[in-house]
Amino acid sequence: MAENRRARSGHTTKTASPRTSSRRGPEHAARAACESLERLICHPAEGVSAVRRKDDGWCVVVDVLEVPRIPDTTSLLASYEVQIDDQGELMEYSRVRRYRRGSADE
């Protein structure tokens, strides 16, 4: 009888997602890359500008605020390439670019 009430009310129970394997998606990789990088370099992540799948994990480009300035358009930011394995563990990172917030891409 409880099942009938649930069916009539539109209430359904969620089933397990088909993506519950040990492999995790790009959202998990981006979050793990930002958190790991922030802990290592002690600068806040501003965002993620790229996520790329690799054979052994993920390559994530994280944009970081390195030198805050006033006005904000003169702050220095950097892009770091972060390699994350399938479990979200940091394998390596390197700074690939440093730029002023107000500067346009070339």
Q: What is the DSSP string of the chain?
A: -HHHHHHHHT--PPPPPTT-SS---HHHHHHHHHHHHHHHH---EEEEEEEEEETTEEEEEEEEEEE--SSGGG-EEEEEEEEEETTS-EEEEEEEEEEETTPPP-
What's the mean pLDDT when you consider all of the chain?
85
pLDDT above 90 for 79: yes
When pLDDT is averaged across residues 23-36 and rounded to a whole number, the result is 93
pLDDT above 70 for 97: yes
- pTM of the predicted model, to two decimals? 0.76
Confidence of residue 106 (pLDDT cuts 50, 70, 90): low
